[in-house]
Structure 1
Protein backbone atom coordinates (compact mmCIF):
# COMPACT_ATOMS: atom_id res chain seq x y z
CA UNK A 1 0.00 0.00 0.00
CA UNK A 2 1.39 3.39 -1.01
CA UNK A 3 2.20 5.78 1.83
CA UNK A 4 1.00 9.38 1.89
CA UNK A 5 4.13 11.50 2.19
CA UNK A 6 2.66 14.30 4.30
CA UNK A 7 1.12 11.81 6.74
CA UNK A 8 4.38 9.87 6.98
CA UNK A 9 6.30 13.08 7.68
CA UNK A 10 3.77 14.13 10.31
CA UNK A 11 4.17 10.88 12.21
CA UNK A 12 7.94 11.12 11.88
CA UNK A 13 7.81 14.50 13.59
CA UNK A 14 5.74 13.07 16.45
CA UNK A 15 8.14 10.15 16.88
CA UNK A 16 11.19 12.43 16.94
CA UNK A 17 9.59 14.94 19.32
CA UNK A 18 8.65 12.02 21.62
CA UNK A 19 12.34 11.16 21.89
CA UNK A 20 13.10 14.63 23.29
CA UNK A 21 11.12 15.17 26.52
CA UNK A 22 12.85 18.53 27.03
CA UNK A 23 11.89 19.67 23.57
CA UNK A 24 13.57 19.88 20.17
CA UNK A 25 14.25 22.84 17.90
CA UNK A 26 12.91 23.20 14.39
CA UNK A 27 16.52 23.29 13.15
CA UNK A 28 17.25 19.91 14.72
CA UNK A 29 14.01 18.49 13.34
CA UNK A 30 14.80 19.73 9.84
CA UNK A 31 18.28 18.22 9.99
CA UNK A 32 17.12 14.84 11.32
CA UNK A 33 14.32 14.59 8.77
CA UNK A 34 16.39 16.05 5.94
CA UNK A 35 13.62 18.50 5.13
CA UNK A 36 13.49 22.24 4.58
CA UNK A 37 12.62 24.28 7.68
CA UNK A 38 9.62 25.72 5.86
CA UNK A 39 8.17 22.22 5.33
CA UNK A 40 8.76 21.19 8.94
CA UNK A 41 7.30 24.49 10.15
CA UNK A 42 4.14 23.93 8.13
CA UNK A 43 3.66 20.42 9.50
CA UNK A 44 4.36 21.58 13.05
CA UNK A 45 1.78 24.32 12.66
CA UNK A 46 -0.94 21.76 12.01
CA UNK A 47 0.17 19.57 14.92
CA UNK A 48 0.27 22.55 17.28
CA UNK A 49 -3.18 23.67 16.16
CA UNK A 50 -4.59 20.21 16.88
CA UNK A 51 -2.86 19.96 20.26
CA UNK A 52 -0.53 17.08 19.42
CA UNK A 53 2.57 19.27 19.72
CA UNK A 54 3.17 22.35 21.87
CA UNK A 55 5.80 25.05 21.61
CA UNK A 56 7.70 26.30 24.63
CA UNK A 57 7.46 30.08 24.42
CA UNK A 58 10.72 30.52 26.37
CA UNK A 59 12.99 28.14 24.44
CA UNK A 60 11.13 27.91 21.15
CA UNK A 61 11.45 24.12 21.39
CA UNK A 62 8.65 21.71 20.49
CA UNK A 63 7.27 19.02 22.80
CA UNK A 64 4.43 16.54 22.66
CA UNK A 65 1.04 18.10 23.39
CA UNK A 66 -1.80 17.08 25.66
CA UNK A 67 -3.80 15.54 22.82
CA UNK A 68 -1.24 12.72 22.60
CA UNK A 69 -2.00 11.92 26.23
CA UNK A 70 -5.73 11.96 25.51
CA UNK A 71 -5.30 9.37 22.77
CA UNK A 72 -2.97 7.22 24.86
CA UNK A 73 -5.32 7.31 27.84
CA UNK A 74 -8.25 6.34 25.64
CA UNK A 75 -6.32 3.37 24.29
CA UNK A 76 -5.11 2.19 27.69
CA UNK A 77 -8.53 2.55 29.30
CA UNK A 78 -10.13 0.42 26.61
CA UNK A 79 -7.64 -2.43 26.55
CA UNK A 80 -9.40 -5.72 27.21
CA UNK A 81 -7.16 -7.84 29.42
CA UNK A 82 -8.89 -11.06 28.35
CA UNK A 83 -8.37 -10.35 24.67
CA UNK A 84 -4.77 -9.29 25.19
CA UNK A 85 -3.92 -12.32 27.34
CA UNK A 86 -5.76 -14.94 25.26
CA UNK A 87 -2.85 -16.00 23.05
CA UNK A 88 -0.50 -16.16 26.04
CA UNK A 89 -2.92 -18.39 27.95
CA UNK A 90 -3.24 -20.73 25.00
CA UNK A 91 0.52 -20.95 24.54
CA UNK A 92 1.03 -21.72 28.22
CA UNK A 93 -1.70 -24.38 28.25
CA UNK A 94 -0.24 -26.04 25.17
CA UNK A 95 3.31 -25.90 26.52
CA UNK A 96 2.52 -27.04 30.05
CA UNK A 97 -0.31 -29.42 29.19
CA UNK A 98 -2.09 -28.10 32.27
CA UNK A 99 -4.94 -25.69 33.02
CA UNK A 100 -4.07 -21.99 32.80
CA UNK A 101 -6.00 -19.18 34.50
CA UNK A 102 -6.34 -15.41 34.18
CA UNK A 103 -7.58 -13.72 37.35
CA UNK A 104 -8.26 -10.30 38.81
CA UNK A 105 -9.12 -9.20 42.34
CA UNK A 106 -12.44 -7.78 43.41
CA UNK A 107 -13.63 -7.03 46.94
CA UNK A 108 -10.54 -8.73 48.39
CA UNK A 109 -11.18 -11.95 46.50
CA UNK A 110 -9.73 -13.64 43.42
CA UNK A 111 -12.06 -13.76 40.42
CA UNK A 112 -11.32 -16.22 37.61
CA UNK A 113 -12.05 -14.35 34.37
CA UNK A 114 -10.58 -16.77 31.82
CA UNK A 115 -9.40 -20.36 31.69
CA UNK A 116 -7.72 -22.52 29.07
CA UNK A 117 -7.60 -26.27 29.55
CA UNK A 118 -4.42 -28.20 28.84
CA UNK A 119 -4.17 -31.63 27.25
CA UNK A 120 -4.33 -33.27 30.67
CA UNK A 121 -7.65 -33.47 32.48
CA UNK A 122 -7.92 -31.86 35.89
CA UNK A 123 -10.74 -31.59 38.36
CA UNK A 124 -10.31 -28.51 40.50
CA UNK A 125 -12.13 -25.64 42.11
CA UNK A 126 -11.75 -23.06 39.37
CA UNK A 127 -14.20 -22.00 36.69
CA UNK A 128 -14.79 -18.67 34.96
CA UNK A 129 -16.64 -16.34 37.30
CA UNK A 130 -15.70 -18.35 40.39
CA UNK A 131 -14.20 -16.57 43.40
CA UNK A 132 -11.49 -17.71 45.78
CA UNK A 133 -9.52 -16.45 48.75
CA UNK A 134 -6.37 -14.50 47.99
CA UNK A 135 -3.95 -15.72 50.67
CA UNK A 136 -4.11 -19.39 49.69
CA UNK A 137 -3.96 -19.33 45.88
CA UNK A 138 -1.04 -18.66 43.56
CA UNK A 139 -2.92 -16.00 41.62
CA UNK A 140 -4.18 -14.48 44.84
CA UNK A 141 -0.70 -14.10 46.28
CA UNK A 142 0.56 -12.71 42.96
CA UNK A 143 -2.20 -10.10 43.12
CA UNK A 144 -1.46 -9.37 46.78
CA UNK A 145 2.15 -8.59 45.88
CA UNK A 146 0.84 -5.27 44.58
CA UNK A 147 -1.12 -4.45 47.73
CA UNK A 148 -0.07 -1.80 50.24
CA UNK A 149 0.33 -2.74 53.90
CA UNK A 150 -2.92 -0.93 54.66
CA UNK A 151 -4.73 -2.91 51.96
CA UNK A 152 -3.39 -6.18 53.36
CA UNK A 153 -4.56 -5.20 56.84
CA UNK A 154 -8.01 -4.50 55.41
CA UNK A 155 -8.00 -7.88 53.66
CA UNK A 156 -7.22 -9.64 56.94
CA UNK A 157 -9.92 -7.67 58.75
CA UNK A 158 -12.56 -8.55 56.15
CA UNK A 159 -11.58 -12.08 55.15
CA UNK A 160 -9.13 -13.38 57.71
CA UNK A 161 -6.61 -16.07 56.81
CA UNK A 162 -8.63 -19.29 57.10
CA UNK A 163 -6.92 -22.64 56.69
CA UNK A 164 -7.83 -24.95 53.80
CA UNK A 165 -4.94 -27.43 53.99
CA UNK A 166 -1.96 -28.14 56.20
CA UNK A 167 0.17 -25.73 54.14
CA UNK A 168 -2.20 -22.73 54.04
CA UNK A 169 -0.71 -19.43 55.21
CA UNK A 170 -2.58 -18.47 58.38
CA UNK A 171 -0.57 -15.63 59.96
CA UNK A 172 0.28 -12.11 58.86
CA UNK A 173 3.99 -12.82 59.35
CA UNK A 174 3.87 -15.79 56.98
CA UNK A 175 1.93 -13.79 54.42
CA UNK A 176 4.30 -10.84 54.56
CA UNK A 177 7.31 -13.12 54.11
CA UNK A 178 5.65 -14.86 51.17
CA UNK A 179 4.88 -11.54 49.50
CA UNK A 180 8.47 -10.36 49.94
CA UNK A 181 9.65 -13.52 48.21
CA UNK A 182 7.15 -13.04 45.38
CA UNK A 183 8.23 -9.43 44.89
CA UNK A 184 11.87 -10.52 44.76
CA UNK A 185 11.51 -13.48 42.41
CA UNK A 186 8.58 -12.23 40.32
CA UNK A 187 6.26 -15.20 40.72
CA UNK A 188 4.17 -17.03 43.34
CA UNK A 189 3.82 -20.71 44.22
CA UNK A 190 0.69 -22.33 45.64
CA UNK A 191 2.13 -25.34 47.44
CA UNK A 192 -1.15 -27.25 47.93
CA UNK A 193 -2.37 -24.32 50.01
CA UNK A 194 -5.94 -24.27 48.68
CA UNK A 195 -6.46 -27.83 47.48
CA UNK A 196 -4.56 -30.93 48.54
CA UNK A 197 -2.66 -32.46 45.65
CA UNK A 198 -2.70 -29.29 43.49
CA UNK A 199 0.42 -27.23 42.88
CA UNK A 200 0.36 -23.90 41.04
CA UNK A 201 2.71 -21.24 39.77
CA UNK A 202 1.42 -17.71 39.13
CA UNK A 203 2.80 -14.37 37.96
CA UNK A 204 1.42 -10.82 38.24
CA UNK A 205 0.35 -8.66 35.29
CA UNK A 206 1.20 -4.95 35.44
CA UNK A 207 -0.55 -2.02 33.75
CA UNK A 208 1.07 1.09 32.25
CA UNK A 209 1.33 2.69 35.70
CA UNK A 210 3.14 -0.31 37.18
CA UNK A 211 0.12 -1.49 39.18
CA UNK A 212 -0.67 -5.20 39.52
CA UNK A 213 -4.06 -5.58 37.83
CA UNK A 214 -4.24 -9.30 37.07
CA UNK A 215 -2.39 -12.58 37.38
CA UNK A 216 -1.93 -15.71 35.32
CA UNK A 217 -1.26 -19.22 36.59
CA UNK A 218 -0.53 -22.80 35.62
CA UNK A 219 -2.08 -25.43 37.90
CA UNK A 220 -2.02 -29.19 38.02
CA UNK A 221 -1.64 -32.26 40.21
CA UNK A 222 1.62 -32.54 42.11
CA UNK A 223 2.48 -35.75 40.23
CA UNK A 224 2.81 -33.74 37.00
CA UNK A 225 3.52 -30.30 38.49
CA UNK A 226 6.67 -31.42 40.26
CA UNK A 227 8.76 -28.91 42.16
CA UNK A 228 11.58 -29.40 39.67
CA UNK A 229 9.33 -28.60 36.72
CA UNK A 230 7.60 -25.68 38.41
CA UNK A 231 10.91 -24.10 39.43
CA UNK A 232 12.45 -24.80 36.02
CA UNK A 233 10.82 -24.52 32.60
CA UNK A 234 7.38 -23.48 33.87
CA UNK A 235 8.86 -20.52 35.74
CA UNK A 236 10.60 -19.35 32.58
CA UNK A 237 7.47 -19.86 30.49
CA UNK A 238 5.04 -18.04 32.76
CA UNK A 239 7.45 -15.17 33.40
CA UNK A 240 7.91 -14.63 29.67
CA UNK A 241 4.17 -14.57 29.01
CA UNK A 242 3.40 -12.33 32.01
CA UNK A 243 6.05 -9.85 30.83
CA UNK A 244 4.64 -9.89 27.29
CA UNK A 245 1.07 -9.26 28.49
CA UNK A 246 2.26 -6.44 30.75
CA UNK A 247 4.20 -4.87 27.88
CA UNK A 248 1.06 -4.91 25.72
CA UNK A 249 -0.68 -3.01 28.52
CA UNK A 250 2.02 -0.33 28.38
CA UNK A 251 4.18 -1.50 31.28
CA UNK A 252 7.88 -0.68 30.97
CA UNK A 253 9.95 -3.00 33.15
CA UNK A 254 12.84 -0.80 34.25
Structure 2
Protein backbone atom coordinates (compact mmCIF):
# COMPACT_ATOMS: atom_id res chain seq x y z
CA UNK A 1 0.00 0.00 0.00
CA UNK A 2 1.60 3.28 -1.11
CA UNK A 3 1.78 6.40 1.02
CA UNK A 4 -0.65 8.30 -1.23
CA UNK A 5 -3.12 5.43 -1.07
CA UNK A 6 -2.86 5.43 2.72
CA UNK A 7 -3.66 9.14 2.87
CA UNK A 8 -6.60 8.69 0.52
CA UNK A 9 -8.02 5.86 2.60
CA UNK A 10 -7.50 7.79 5.83
CA UNK A 11 -9.35 10.81 4.46
CA UNK A 12 -12.14 8.55 3.26
CA UNK A 13 -12.60 7.27 6.80
CA UNK A 14 -12.92 10.82 8.13
CA UNK A 15 -15.39 11.77 5.41
CA UNK A 16 -17.58 8.75 6.13
CA UNK A 17 -17.50 9.27 9.89
CA UNK A 18 -18.50 12.92 9.38
CA UNK A 19 -21.86 11.66 8.12
CA UNK A 20 -22.41 9.44 11.18
CA UNK A 21 -22.25 11.41 14.45
CA UNK A 22 -23.21 8.28 16.40
CA UNK A 23 -20.18 6.48 14.98
CA UNK A 24 -19.59 3.31 12.96
CA UNK A 25 -18.14 -0.11 13.63
CA UNK A 26 -14.99 -1.37 11.98
CA UNK A 27 -17.10 -3.94 10.14
CA UNK A 28 -19.31 -1.22 8.62
CA UNK A 29 -16.34 0.96 7.68
CA UNK A 30 -14.60 -2.04 6.16
CA UNK A 31 -17.68 -2.80 4.06
CA UNK A 32 -18.19 0.83 2.93
CA UNK A 33 -14.51 1.26 2.03
CA UNK A 34 -14.16 -2.23 0.58
CA UNK A 35 -11.05 -2.77 2.67
CA UNK A 36 -9.91 -5.54 4.98
CA UNK A 37 -10.85 -5.07 8.64
CA UNK A 38 -7.17 -5.27 9.59
CA UNK A 39 -6.35 -2.36 7.26
CA UNK A 40 -9.21 -0.24 8.60
CA UNK A 41 -8.20 -1.05 12.18
CA UNK A 42 -4.62 0.02 11.51
CA UNK A 43 -5.72 3.35 10.02
CA UNK A 44 -8.18 3.96 12.86
CA UNK A 45 -5.48 3.25 15.42
CA UNK A 46 -3.28 5.97 13.92
CA UNK A 47 -6.18 8.46 13.72
CA UNK A 48 -7.16 7.66 17.29
CA UNK A 49 -3.61 8.19 18.56
CA UNK A 50 -3.61 11.64 16.94
CA UNK A 51 -7.06 12.53 18.27
CA UNK A 52 -8.85 12.62 14.90
CA UNK A 53 -11.18 9.76 15.85
CA UNK A 54 -12.36 8.38 19.16
CA UNK A 55 -13.88 5.07 20.13
CA UNK A 56 -17.04 4.73 22.18
CA UNK A 57 -16.25 2.51 25.16
CA UNK A 58 -19.69 0.87 25.21
CA UNK A 59 -20.50 0.31 21.53
CA UNK A 60 -16.94 0.12 20.24
CA UNK A 61 -17.95 2.41 17.38
CA UNK A 62 -15.60 5.06 16.05
CA UNK A 63 -16.56 8.70 15.49
CA UNK A 64 -14.73 11.93 14.74
CA UNK A 65 -12.43 13.22 17.46
CA UNK A 66 -11.77 16.64 18.95
CA UNK A 67 -8.70 17.24 16.77
CA UNK A 68 -10.98 17.59 13.73
CA UNK A 69 -12.72 20.46 15.50
CA UNK A 70 -9.37 22.04 16.36
CA UNK A 71 -8.38 22.07 12.70
CA UNK A 72 -11.77 23.36 11.57
CA UNK A 73 -11.70 26.16 14.15
CA UNK A 74 -8.20 27.14 13.10
CA UNK A 75 -9.25 27.35 9.45
CA UNK A 76 -12.38 29.37 10.22
CA UNK A 77 -10.38 31.81 12.35
CA UNK A 78 -8.02 32.38 9.43
CA UNK A 79 -10.82 33.26 7.01
CA UNK A 80 -10.73 36.98 6.34
CA UNK A 81 -14.08 38.16 5.05
CA UNK A 82 -12.48 40.66 2.66
CA UNK A 83 -10.26 38.01 1.12
CA UNK A 84 -13.09 35.49 0.89
CA UNK A 85 -15.50 38.01 -0.67
CA UNK A 86 -13.12 39.85 -3.01
CA UNK A 87 -13.67 37.74 -6.12
CA UNK A 88 -17.46 37.89 -5.69
CA UNK A 89 -17.36 41.68 -5.25
CA UNK A 90 -15.48 42.12 -8.52
CA UNK A 91 -17.83 39.70 -10.26
CA UNK A 92 -20.83 41.76 -9.11
CA UNK A 93 -19.20 45.04 -10.11
CA UNK A 94 -18.38 43.75 -13.56
CA UNK A 95 -21.79 42.21 -14.22
CA UNK A 96 -23.80 45.14 -12.84
CA UNK A 97 -21.58 48.04 -13.90
CA UNK A 98 -22.27 49.63 -10.51
CA UNK A 99 -20.51 50.20 -7.18
CA UNK A 100 -20.30 47.17 -4.88
CA UNK A 101 -19.78 47.29 -1.10
CA UNK A 102 -18.80 44.90 1.68
CA UNK A 103 -19.84 45.98 5.18
CA UNK A 104 -19.90 44.80 8.77
CA UNK A 105 -21.58 46.26 11.85
CA UNK A 106 -19.81 47.75 14.83
CA UNK A 107 -21.32 49.61 17.76
CA UNK A 108 -24.75 49.63 16.11
CA UNK A 109 -23.41 51.18 12.92
CA UNK A 110 -22.47 50.01 9.44
CA UNK A 111 -18.76 50.07 8.62
CA UNK A 112 -17.68 49.93 4.95
CA UNK A 113 -14.67 47.59 4.81
CA UNK A 114 -14.33 47.09 1.04
CA UNK A 115 -15.59 48.74 -2.12
CA UNK A 116 -15.28 48.07 -5.84
CA UNK A 117 -15.85 51.21 -7.86
CA UNK A 118 -18.04 51.45 -10.93
CA UNK A 119 -16.45 52.32 -14.26
CA UNK A 120 -19.21 54.90 -14.59
CA UNK A 121 -19.14 58.28 -12.87
CA UNK A 122 -20.86 58.21 -9.49
CA UNK A 123 -20.58 60.36 -6.39
CA UNK A 124 -21.90 58.78 -3.21
CA UNK A 125 -21.39 58.69 0.53
CA UNK A 126 -19.59 55.39 0.90
CA UNK A 127 -15.84 55.11 1.49
CA UNK A 128 -13.78 52.33 3.06
CA UNK A 129 -13.70 52.97 6.80
CA UNK A 130 -16.72 55.26 6.76
CA UNK A 131 -19.70 54.56 9.02
CA UNK A 132 -23.43 54.89 8.47
CA UNK A 133 -26.62 54.16 10.38
CA UNK A 134 -28.24 50.79 9.91
CA UNK A 135 -31.94 51.53 9.48
CA UNK A 136 -31.49 53.62 6.35
CA UNK A 137 -28.94 51.64 4.30
CA UNK A 138 -29.32 48.42 2.35
CA UNK A 139 -26.32 46.80 3.99
CA UNK A 140 -27.49 48.04 7.39
CA UNK A 141 -30.91 46.44 7.06
CA UNK A 142 -29.26 43.24 5.84
CA UNK A 143 -27.11 43.20 8.96
CA UNK A 144 -30.17 43.82 11.14
CA UNK A 145 -31.46 40.38 10.10
CA UNK A 146 -28.98 38.99 12.61
CA UNK A 147 -30.24 41.13 15.49
CA UNK A 148 -32.44 39.84 18.28
CA UNK A 149 -35.45 41.92 19.32
CA UNK A 150 -33.47 43.10 22.34
CA UNK A 151 -30.56 44.21 20.15
CA UNK A 152 -32.91 46.01 17.77
CA UNK A 153 -34.61 47.82 20.65
CA UNK A 154 -31.20 48.88 21.99
CA UNK A 155 -30.13 50.17 18.58
CA UNK A 156 -33.29 52.27 18.25
CA UNK A 157 -32.87 53.61 21.76
CA UNK A 158 -29.20 54.48 21.17
CA UNK A 159 -29.24 55.72 17.57
CA UNK A 160 -32.87 56.56 16.93
CA UNK A 161 -34.37 56.33 13.44
CA UNK A 162 -33.45 59.72 11.98
CA UNK A 163 -34.81 60.83 8.63
CA UNK A 164 -32.42 61.38 5.71
CA UNK A 165 -34.81 61.41 2.75
CA UNK A 166 -38.54 61.21 2.12
CA UNK A 167 -38.33 57.41 1.99
CA UNK A 168 -36.30 56.79 5.17
CA UNK A 169 -37.97 54.38 7.59
CA UNK A 170 -38.41 56.32 10.83
CA UNK A 171 -40.93 54.12 12.66
CA UNK A 172 -40.07 50.98 14.65
CA UNK A 173 -43.15 49.07 13.51
CA UNK A 174 -42.42 49.83 9.85
CA UNK A 175 -38.79 48.78 10.30
CA UNK A 176 -39.84 45.46 11.80
CA UNK A 177 -42.32 44.95 8.97
CA UNK A 178 -39.55 45.66 6.46
CA UNK A 179 -37.16 43.21 8.14
CA UNK A 180 -39.83 40.50 7.99
CA UNK A 181 -40.29 41.10 4.26
CA UNK A 182 -36.52 41.00 3.72
CA UNK A 183 -36.28 37.60 5.41
CA UNK A 184 -38.94 36.25 3.08
CA UNK A 185 -37.37 37.46 -0.18
CA UNK A 186 -33.71 37.14 0.88
CA UNK A 187 -32.49 40.55 -0.21
CA UNK A 188 -32.83 44.20 0.80
CA UNK A 189 -33.90 47.21 -1.22
CA UNK A 190 -32.67 50.65 -0.14
CA UNK A 191 -35.21 52.85 -1.89
CA UNK A 192 -33.13 56.06 -1.79
CA UNK A 193 -33.45 55.97 2.01
CA UNK A 194 -29.98 57.32 2.84
CA UNK A 195 -29.09 59.31 -0.26
CA UNK A 196 -31.69 60.74 -2.58
CA UNK A 197 -31.10 59.49 -6.13
CA UNK A 198 -29.16 56.39 -5.03
CA UNK A 199 -30.93 53.02 -5.08
CA UNK A 200 -29.30 49.93 -3.58
CA UNK A 201 -29.83 46.20 -3.30
CA UNK A 202 -28.11 44.24 -0.53
CA UNK A 203 -27.91 40.76 0.97
CA UNK A 204 -26.55 39.28 4.23
CA UNK A 205 -23.55 36.96 4.54
CA UNK A 206 -23.62 34.07 7.01
CA UNK A 207 -20.80 32.28 8.82
CA UNK A 208 -20.50 28.58 9.67
CA UNK A 209 -22.76 29.01 12.71
CA UNK A 210 -25.50 30.70 10.69
CA UNK A 211 -24.75 34.16 12.09
CA UNK A 212 -25.07 37.27 9.93
CA UNK A 213 -21.51 38.61 9.94
CA UNK A 214 -21.44 40.96 6.95
CA UNK A 215 -23.44 42.26 4.02
CA UNK A 216 -22.82 43.09 0.37
CA UNK A 217 -24.61 45.59 -1.83
CA UNK A 218 -24.87 46.97 -5.34
CA UNK A 219 -25.58 50.70 -5.51
CA UNK A 220 -26.03 53.24 -8.24
CA UNK A 221 -28.14 56.11 -9.57
CA UNK A 222 -31.86 55.38 -9.44
CA UNK A 223 -32.19 55.95 -13.17
CA UNK A 224 -29.68 53.13 -13.82
CA UNK A 225 -30.48 50.89 -10.85
CA UNK A 226 -34.18 50.75 -11.71
CA UNK A 227 -36.79 48.79 -9.79
CA UNK A 228 -36.99 46.40 -12.73
CA UNK A 229 -33.25 45.69 -12.53
CA UNK A 230 -33.33 45.42 -8.75
CA UNK A 231 -36.06 42.79 -8.81
CA UNK A 232 -34.59 41.04 -11.84
CA UNK A 233 -30.93 40.53 -12.76
CA UNK A 234 -29.49 42.38 -9.75
CA UNK A 235 -31.51 40.31 -7.26
CA UNK A 236 -30.40 37.08 -8.91
CA UNK A 237 -26.77 38.21 -9.01
CA UNK A 238 -26.52 39.37 -5.41
CA UNK A 239 -28.32 36.30 -4.07
CA UNK A 240 -26.00 34.01 -6.03
CA UNK A 241 -22.87 35.75 -4.77
CA UNK A 242 -24.08 36.07 -1.17
CA UNK A 243 -24.76 32.31 -1.13
CA UNK A 244 -21.35 31.68 -2.70
CA UNK A 245 -19.50 33.77 -0.12
CA UNK A 246 -21.48 32.30 2.78
CA UNK A 247 -20.69 28.77 1.57
CA UNK A 248 -16.98 29.63 1.51
CA UNK A 249 -17.36 30.77 5.12
CA UNK A 250 -18.75 27.35 6.02
CA UNK A 251 -22.46 28.17 6.04
CA UNK A 252 -24.85 25.34 5.23
CA UNK A 253 -28.49 26.36 4.88
CA UNK A 254 -30.78 24.09 6.88
- TM-score w.r.t. length of structure 1: 0.98
Deviation (angstroms), 1:110: 0.2
Match of 1:126 in 2: 126
Cα distance in 2 between the residues matched to 1:3 and 1:143 = 47
Cα distance in 2 between the residues matched to 1:219 and 1:24 = 51
> What stretches of structure 2 of length at least 5 have no aligned partner?
none
Matched, 1:10 2:6: no
Matched, 1:197 2:200: no
Cα distance in 2 between the residues matched to 1:76 and 1:214 = 15
Deviation (angstroms), 1:17: 1.2
Deviation (angstroms), 1:13: 1.0
Deviations 1:178-208 (A, max 9, x none): 1101111111110010000000000000001
Match of 2:182 in 1: 182
Cα distance in 2 between the residues matched to 1:26 and 1:154 = 54
Deviation (angstroms), 1:18: 1.1
Cα distance in 2 between the residues matched to 1:226 and 1:58 = 64
Q: Report the number of matched residues.
A: 253
Alignment of 1:23-34 (within 5 A): 23-34=23-34
Deviations 1:18-59 (A, max 9, x none): 121111110111112121111111110011111100111111
Q: CA RMSD in A?
A: 1.0
Deviation (angstroms), 1:118: 2.0
SS in 1 for 2:44: helix
Cα–Cα, structure 1 residues 29 and 115, in superposed 2: closer, same or farther, change >3 Å?
same
Matched, 1:45 2:45: yes
The farther-off stretch of 23-32 and 122-131 is 23-32
Alignment of 1:69-80 (within 5 A): 69-80=69-80
> What stretches of structure 1 of length at least 5 have no aligned partner?
none
Cα distance in 1 between the residues matched to 2:69 and 2:123 = 46
Match of 1:237 in 2: 237
- TM-score w.r.t. length of structure 2: 0.98
Alignment of 1:1-254 (within 5 A): 4-254=4-254
Cα distance in 2 between the residues matched to 1:89 and 1:125 = 18
Cα distance in 2 between the residues matched to 1:35 and 1:156 = 61
The farther-off stretch of 27-36 and 99-108 is 27-36
Deviation (angstroms), 1:3: 6.7
Deviations 1:230-254 (A, max 9, x none): 1111000000000000000010012
Cα distance in 1 between the residues matched to 2:143 and 2:113 = 14
Cα distance in 2 between the residues matched to 1:229 and 1:36 = 59
Deviation (angstroms), 1:164: 0.4
